[in-house]
Structure 1
Amino acid sequence: MYTPYFKISPKITEYLTQIGIIYGYLKSTPLPIKYQKEYQNRILSEIIHSSTAIEGNNLSEKQVHGVLNGVKIKGYERDVKEVENYYKAIKYISGLPINSNFKISEEIILKINGIILNGIRDEEAGKYRTKELYVGTYIPPKPKDISTLTTEFIDWLNNPIPHDLSPILYAGIAHYKLVAIHPFIDGNGRTTRILTKLMLKKYGYDFIKYFSLESYYNRQRKFYYEALDSADSHRVEGQPDLSIWLEYFTLTLFVQAQRAQTQIETLIKTKPRQIKFHLNERQKKIIIYLKEHSSITTSEYMKISSLSPKGAYNDLQKLNKAGIIEKKGILKSSFYTLKNYKL
């Protein structure tokens, strides 16, 4: 049975206390309806952009937002696929019947990796690696040991949490351990960050609604890797010491939760502004089209306006933000409908 070694420092205790207070505030302070969808879509784009960027994805956050809204981006096929796959992996865990009794199985972990690598490394997607890897100076376990190590890890995951251990620390330990096993040929970091979300949600911390852990890791990429590496460079009786990593993990949650609190407080205090919006001739065509057809896609608007994918997307987004049209669906299935508006 896997038995992690770590010490709970005063900083970890303080971070956990503050996270609990702020999360209580976030859950009890719903955003005004007019801000909810935009805020959650922005957080989703931030999560997906950051987690894929950590692994070398070249798309900007704005481009990621565009991909999630059906915009075609040429010349970045693999990057676009990585973004689409990460969104699908988040959607997959969001659809699981998660509660405190939910069991995280080997099948779920393999499925997450399979989704992440789908269409990128199909032969290896959702399968344990059969080759040795070198991750910087770190040498992960040999392929022959992966199945046993992963089974022990999953058994530990599903054991009752000790009464004196925060579920947040449990998720942090899981994050470190799966990265250390490095069971897949590719996508280990992304699979781990999805699994961490799943674990936190299992124990009542559905942070994905409010903020992105990944954006902090991405901004502090060097420190993220150093914190993970610290467990192996600081050993106690030959066993990795997770103390520094867990301090970093809880700091990340605290900083991002605090940031979310500030953003939400700002939105709540923001007074609605009267927006004067003047349609150009292209945008008038959208309104006319919607009066006749009830809905329009980005591709359909490109045909009637002769605009590029980016130009068509920008026009539709302006009308969407102005409250003239409403976006429904996501990715390739997205479309727009007309709200109350008269030419």
Structure 2
Amino acid sequence: MIKTNSLHITNEILALIAEIDEFKGAWRSLSQLAPEQLTSLKHIATIESIGSSTRIEGSRLTDQEVEVLLGNLQIKSFATRDEQEIAGYAEAMNIVFQNYEQIPFTENYILQLHQELMRYSDKDDWHRGNYKKSPNHVEAFGADGKSIGIVFETISPFETPLQMEQLVAWANKEFKEKTLHPLIIAGIFIVKFLEIHPFQDGNGRLSRILTTLLLLKQGYAYIPYSSLEAVIEQSKEAYYLSLRQTQGTLKSEKPNWGPWLLFFLRSLKKQKERLEGKIAQEKLLLTQLPELSQRILSIAKSRGRITVKDVVTLTSANRNTVKKHIENLSASGYLQQQGIGKGTWYVLSV
């Protein structure tokens, strides 16, 4: 079913894989930041991923609006379709982040992830967690949320169950036998998944969640700390073009995997470069401030706001020492004071 006999591994593909794998190997030492800093990186990346992935499909909510919404997920009631999709994406991502090691890569779990993805979407309860029953086509959306047009026609509902069974079986076999590099297998799986378009709705969002799942399961542990979805959103035209160029050849005897694999690997390179840049900024901060001041800023970044009592509790430092560090950080412009007296709290300066 998956014809890889025509797969041409170019020098650029080899170089991209080598660079990404080098970062994968170095992540253990690169990630030796304070827990608060890692939490902050993951928090920011999660917001970017949810916002970008839903905007690619037509949502109009900004990252700031996404962050507010995520802070109120416990209400379990969302007024608009955009809000419903964001809540579902957050639930599915959280499941993958917390359980990827235990999640077997099977059709059953793909169906379950789709069910979680569409959990809050009122109009989708009739097909939630089930393969499509009627034809669907891939539609592209512009920055204004309006349709650009049909990108390509997808596999028929009748063929979908068998094609999904064969695709998942192929991926598991390849990962086990290691005849292809894991990044190549993941890339081919995703482009084929999007060609099948197995669900009535949510395929694009689910493809990006499955990308995260596959990469985490293959040991790319840094993935949650930098948003691949944000990279794709910034390259949306190239994203759709590479899909069209490869998917238009998949029914031929010699599919052209190159356009999509190059886009996929270049996006992974940009993702890791973004993370390298953020880590460099964090480490630069570490060299410029006393250790307790660094921890205070990390706590403020991960929690959004802090009080002297918060910092004392979290660091076990002397209260007067904490107050002095916070005063210095405020005077230096790192923190902004809010409120007065016992109601004083602090936030990072914008």
Distance of 1:326 and 1:158 partners within structure 2: 47
Partner of 1:37: 39
Distance of 1:241 and 1:319 partners within structure 2: 47
Partner of 1:305: none
Unaligned runs of 5+ in 2: 139-149, 295-299, 324-340, 343-350
Q: 2:194 aligns with which of 162, 170, 179?
A: 179
Q: Does 1:28 align with 2:29?
A: yes
Structure 2 length-normalised TM: 0.75
Cα–Cα, structure 1 residues 166 and 187, in superposed 2: closer, same or farther, change >3 Å? same
Partner of 2:234: 219
Deviations 1:132-153 (A, max 9, x none): 1222141111111111101101
Partner of 2:2: 2
Partner of 1:321: 305
Distance of 1:128 and 1:90 partners within structure 2: 20
Q: 1:132 aligns with which of 127, 135, 140?
A: 135
Distance of 1:319 and 1:213 partners within structure 2: 24
Distance of 2:9 and 2:225 partners within structure 1: 26
Distance of 1:15 and 1:317 partners within structure 2: 32
Let me know the Cα RMSD of the aligned residues: 3.1
CA contact (8 A) 2:40 2:302 kept: no
Q: Does 1:83 align with 2:86?
A: yes
Unaligned runs of 5+ in 1: 276-315, 328-336
CA contact (8 A) 2:136 2:153 kept: yes
Partner of 1:93: 96
CA contact (8 A) 2:40 2:301 kept: no
Superposition pairs for residues 138-149 of structure 1, below 5 Å? 138-149=152-163
Q: 2:215 aligns with which of 173, 182, 200?
A: 200
CA contact (8 A) 1:47 1:214 kept: yes
Superposition pairs for residues 261-272 of structure 1, below 5 Å? 261-270=276-285, 271-272=288-289
Distance of 1:150 and 1:26 partners within structure 2: 33
Displacement of 1:53 in angstroms is: 0.9
Deviations 1:258-306 (A, max 9, x none): 121111011011134869xxxxxxxxxxxxxxxxxxxxxxxxxxxxxxx
Partner of 1:293: none
Cα–Cα, structure 1 residues 319 and 216, in superposed 2: closer, same or farther, change >3 Å? closer
Partner of 1:113: 114
CA contact (8 A) 1:127 1:184 kept: yes
Cα–Cα, structure 1 residues 239 and 131, in superposed 2: closer, same or farther, change >3 Å? farther
Distance of 2:116 and 2:225 partners within structure 1: 24
Amino acid in structure 1 at the alignment position of 2:71: N
Deviations 1:297-336 (A, max 9, x none): xxxxxxxxxxxxxxxxxxx999843454769xxxxxxxxx
Amino acid in structure 1 at the alignment position of 2:107: E
Superposition pairs for residues 13-24 of structure 1, below 5 Å? 13-24=14-25
Cα–Cα, structure 1 residues 322 and 239, in superposed 2: closer, same or farther, change >3 Å? same
Displacement of 1:112 in angstroms is: 1.1
Q: 1:66 aligns with which of 56, 63, 68?
A: 68
Distance of 2:132 and 2:251 partners within structure 1: 29
CA contact (8 A) 1:319 1:325 kept: no
CA contact (8 A) 2:78 2:84 kept: no
Determine helix, strand or coil for the equivalent of 1:151. helix
Distance of 1:185 and 1:171 partners within structure 2: 22
Cα–Cα, structure 1 residues 324 and 84, in superposed 2: closer, same or farther, change >3 Å? farther
Distance of 2:106 and 2:302 partners within structure 1: 44
Cα–Cα, structure 1 residues 118 and 230, in superposed 2: closer, same or farther, change >3 Å? same
CA contact (8 A) 1:103 1:158 kept: no
Cα–Cα, structure 1 residues 249 and 317, in superposed 2: closer, same or farther, change >3 Å? closer
Distance of 2:301 and 2:211 partners within structure 1: 33
Amino acid in structure 2 at the alignment position of 1:2: I
Q: Percent identity among equivalent residues?
A: 25
Structure 1 length-normalised TM: 0.76
Distance of 2:17 and 2:302 partners within structure 1: 41
Displacement of 1:21 in angstroms is: 1.6
Aligned residues: 292
CA contact (8 A) 1:212 1:256 kept: yes
Cα–Cα, structure 1 residues 12 and 324, in superposed 2: closer, same or farther, change >3 Å? farther
Determine helix, strand or coil for the equivalent of 1:165. coil
Displacement of 1:117 in angstroms is: 1.3
Distance of 2:303 and 2:180 partners within structure 1: 49
CA contact (8 A) 1:173 1:246 kept: yes
Displacement of 1:240 in angstroms is: 2.8
Displacement of 1:38 in angstroms is: 1.6
